[in-house]
A and B are shown apart, each in its own frame.
Chain A
Amino acid sequence: MNGGRELHLVGLSHKSAPVAVREKVALSGDDLKGALAALSDRPGVGEVMVVSTCNRVECYVYGESLEEARHFFLARTGEAEEHLYERSGREAVRHLFRVAASLDSMVVGEPQILGQVKEAYGLAASVQTAGAFVSRLCNRAFATAKRVRSETEIARGAGSISQVAVELVEKIFGNLKGRAVLLVGVGKMGALSAKALRDLGADRILVTNRSPERSRALAAEIGAVAEPWEGLTSLLVLADVVIVSTGAPSYVITRELVAQAMKARRGRSVCFIDLAVPRNVDPACGEQDNVYAYDIDDLQKVVSQTHAARAEEAIRAEAIVEAEVMAFALERETRAALPVLAELRRKAEQIARAEAERTLAQVGAKLDEKGRRSVEAMAQAIVNKLLHGPTARLKEAAASGDSDLPGAAAELFGVGEAEAPPARGRSRDAPDADIHTEPHR
């Protein structure tokens, strides 16, 4: 029905391949652009898009077979062979929709993947390897992801430690405008959380560490201010959120220290997030009024809860994906009837315009502006009324998979068949290019 062209997918992901293999095939930037261009020049390949993230590399080809896509991986490393998965047709469409909706992600529901797929599409579009088909496919995938996000609770809750930390801080302080965040220790996770808190509006981030060089280095890296370790007590009076991740074997933040700071703070709330193992914050600190203390286990518990809840929501999300896959297939079949329809309408309107002009040339002088417009409107109305029935029936026929009627219509009205489909490729940018590249046979 489409000249044998189908969507094919070959790829590997965190589910099928270890990171050692993934990093060998992963591509980005100009390398990826080059690879896309090379792929699209291969025989039998119509349109190409490659999604490449740290968790997956997937090559989508709209063409005659998936061999070229396979070749894309094998040319990069022979090791890929045993880790590849392959999908074609509706299966491939479903896979992309699931990926975009974050159902195939390592952390189901994580929000980054949609942006990454959008980037992949943007890149393919910029080098013109993504044409009308991939464009429609991706738009549907984005719409699906949006539906899943808004109609299910798959993205609800916090999926990572730093997200949990942010959510907690948000429930205590609202936004962090005008509040200070203190990093005690230079752990990586602490720095990550501090960055996330900055997005919540924290404008002051302070870093302190036993060795000043390392706190200065981290401060420079994340745009914070390094403070001397000796001033910890006064820093506790200043900071509203304290993230602790030192390598110390015992409590760095003790009950007495906090009690003292709270007095000076005049009761203003403070939140301790202890990311260290063994713990650096005495859990008894949290017993005081307006002091909130969490350790890594508390945060991890929330993360696991979120994952469990998301797994349940995923079932509802899959149903949405399924419905969208069906809708996409249906739309594609309906589209097959469109070239005939478009051509028919174009021809009819041309005739109507010509006839109206002829009439107006003869009697136009006797008519005012309003009269002239009614003549034009009448011609247009006749076209609309005449074509209404055929249009509806052609769309129906296409939707139900009947491929005879569009052909018959083309022959009957003398449209469509006369025009040979133009060469592939160069017309890819035109929004309606697919009307020509998917001619009905």
Chain B
Amino acid sequence: MSLLVLRFAALFYAGAVTAYVLHFARPRHAALATVGQWLLGFAFVVQAIAIGLGCKEYGGAEFFGLRGGLVFMTWLAAGASLVVQRLYRIPAIGAFVTPLILVVLLPTLFLVKPDFPEVLPEAVRRPMLTIHIVTALLGVALFAIASLVAVMYLLQEREVKGKRFGALFSRLPSLAALDQLNQRLVRFGFVVYTVALLTGSGMAKVVWKSAWQWDPQQVSSLVIWMLYGVMVQLRHTGWHGRRFALLTIVAFGLVVGSMVTLNVLPEGMTRHGGDFSGERK
């Protein structure tokens, strides 16, 4: 049932992608952006219903698998992008974010084989774990949006600096707006990710009796956290524009890389692979 509703949500996402991309191609039709935003909003609501139904069906165990994680992350990304558009009114962002959401969501519509433990161990059933999962996924979703904004920045910078003034020049927002949005997303994402890291080590302490275990997931999470922390600091020492945008993209590349690697590694190598929170990110 939840899968059916999820597929329904995907249809709305596809509609939002279409509207936003058409608006990007033909900016004169301002109504298209509004349509895109409404469709994205509908998709968000429908997906929320799908997630709720999923929780009922699997008792929350779904989010310990890659598929459940991706579903939840796309939902958070959609929500974050709705908020960003509400605050900044840059419809061009929709043309970049919604396609990514759809692409990430697509495999989850057909991968129905359960990839999560059927029964969750009693030890991990704690509110702290819920907070951990939500913040970790939200952090990654924010970093993803930030990296897309950085891509937009680099595209626009190429137009402005390369003196091309072509189609992208008029369609993309100003460099200052993109730079500022990128910075805020990184900063906010960093705060959220910090909460995820703290709750994560809290859980480790509960389950493994020790907050730090040199677990590959722990190590990569810490590296990523430090990288974003450094970025937040660099901002104060004059890292603006191009360099900051490049760094945002590299950092998110690392996030994706670690997610892929950790999911490909044989079971035994990730200490807490199926142990408590599976593939969180």
* Given known contacts A171-B156, A289-B243, A292-B160, A153 and B176 CB-to-CB distance under 8 angstroms: no
- Given the complex of chains A and B, what is the CA–CA distance between A292 and B28 in angstroms? 28
Interface 1/0 per residue, A28-46 and B, CB below 8 Å: 0000000000000000000
* Residue among A153, A265, A298 making CB contact with B163, cutoff 8 Å: A298
Q: Which residue of A lies closest to B163 (CB)?
A: A298
Which of A93-101, A126-134, A266-274, A372-380 is the contact stretch?
A: A266-274
* Residue among B159, B169, B241 making CB contact with A289, cutoff 8 Å: B241
B252 CB to closest chain A CB (Å) equals 21
Contacts of B242 in A (CB 8 A): 289-290
Indicate whether B106 reaches chain A with its CB closer than 8 angstroms: no
Contacts of A267 in B (CB 8 A): 238-241
Contacts of A168 in B (CB 8 A): 160
Indicate whether B165 reaches chain A with its CB closer than 8 angstroms: yes
- Given the complex of chains A and B, what is the CA–CA distance between A281 and B174 in angstroms? 24
CB contact list, B203-244 vs A, under 8 A: 237-243
- Given the complex of chains A and B, what is the CA–CA distance between A172 and B153 in angstroms? 10
CB contact list, B161-181 vs A, under 8 A: 161, 163, 165, 169-170, 173-177
A104 CB to closest chain B CB (Å) equals 24
Interface centre among B169, B170, B176, B239 (most CB of A within 10 A): B176
Contacts of B243 in A (CB 8 A): 289
A235 CB to closest chain B CB (Å) equals 19
| Contact across chains for B237 and A266 when beta carbons are under 8 A apart | yes
- Given the complex of chains A and B, what is the CA–CA distance between A265 and B239 in angstroms? 11
Indicate whether A170 reaches chain B with its CB closer than 8 angstroms: yes
Indicate whether A17 reaches chain B with its CB closer than 8 angstroms: no
| Contact across chains for A170 and B238 when beta carbons are under 8 A apart | no
Chain A interface size range: 20 to 34
A419 CB to closest chain B CB (Å) equals 49
B52 CB to closest chain A CB (Å) equals 40
Contacts of B160 in A (CB 8 A): 168, 171-172, 292
Contacts of A171 in B (CB 8 A): 156, 159-160, 169, 174-175
| Contact across chains for A173 and B239 when beta carbons are under 8 A apart | no
* Residue among A172, A265, A301 making CB contact with B176, cutoff 8 Å: A172
Indicate whether A18 reaches chain B with its CB closer than 8 angstroms: no
Contacts of A260 in B (CB 8 A): none
- Given the complex of chains A and B, what is the CA–CA distance between A57 and B240 in angstroms? 53
A284 CB to closest chain B CB (Å) equals 13
Contacts of B173 in A (CB 8 A): 174
| Contact across chains for A268 and B240 when beta carbons are under 8 A apart | yes
| Contact across chains for A294 and B175 when beta carbons are under 8 A apart | no
Q: Tell me what chain B mostly uses at the interface: helix, strand, loop, or mixed.
A: helix
| Contact across chains for A174 and B241 when beta carbons are under 8 A apart | no
CB contact list, A327-347 vs B, under 8 A: none
B239 CB to closest chain A CB (Å) equals 7
CB contact list, A161-201 vs B, under 8 A: 168, 170-174
A317 CB to closest chain B CB (Å) equals 14
| Contact across chains for A266 and B161 when beta carbons are under 8 A apart | no
* Given known contacts A174-B177, A267-B239, A286 and B28 CB-to-CB distance under 8 angstroms: no
B39 CB to closest chain A CB (Å) equals 25
Q: Which residue of A lies closest to B165 (CB)?
A: A302
* Residue among A157, A173, A269, A305 making CB contact with B240, cutoff 8 Å: A269
Contacts of B28 in A (CB 8 A): 150, 153
CB contact list, A362-376 vs B, under 8 A: none
| Contact across chains for A172 and B239 when beta carbons are under 8 A apart | no
- Given the complex of chains A and B, what is the CA–CA distance between A171 and B176 in angstroms? 8
A197 CB to closest chain B CB (Å) equals 14
Q: Which residue of B lies closest to A302 (CB)?
A: B165
Contacts of B163 in A (CB 8 A): 294, 298, 301
* Given known contacts A170-B174, A305-B165, A269 and B241 CB-to-CB distance under 8 angstroms: yes
A275 CB to closest chain B CB (Å) equals 15
Contacts of B176 in A (CB 8 A): 172-174, 269
Q: Which residue of A lies closest to B162 (CB)?
A: A286
Contacts of A265 in B (CB 8 A): 238
Interface 1/0 per residue, A298-337 and B, CB below 8 Å: 1001100100000000000000000000000000000000
- Given the complex of chains A and B, what is the CA–CA distance between A305 and B166 in angstroms? 10
Interface 1/0 per residue, A232-270 and B, CB below 8 Å: 000000000000000000000000000000000111110
Contacts of A156 in B (CB 8 A): 170
Q: Which residue of B lies closest to A150 (CB)?
A: B28
- Given the complex of chains A and B, what is the CA–CA distance between A171 and B163 in angstroms? 12
- Given the complex of chains A and B, what is the CA–CA distance between A286 and B157 in angstroms? 12
Q: List 10 A-B contacts (CB under 8 A).
A: A171-B156, A171-B159, A171-B174, A172-B174, A172-B176, A173-B174, A173-B175, A174-B176, A292-B161, A294-B163
State the 10 A-B residue pairs at the shortest beta-carbon distance, nearest first: A267-B238, A266-B238, A174-B174, A174-B176, A267-B240, A290-B241, A173-B176, A174-B177, A298-B163, A171-B174
Chain A residues with a Cβ under 8 A of chain B:
150, 153, 156-157, 168, 170-174, 265-269, 286, 289-290, 292, 294, 298, 301-302, 305
Given contacts A173-B174, A269-B176, 16 further A-B contacts (CB under 8 A): A153-B28, A156-B170, A157-B170, A171-B156, A171-B175, A172-B160, A172-B176, A266-B237, A267-B239, A267-B241, A269-B240, A289-B241, A289-B243, A290-B240, A292-B161, A305-B165
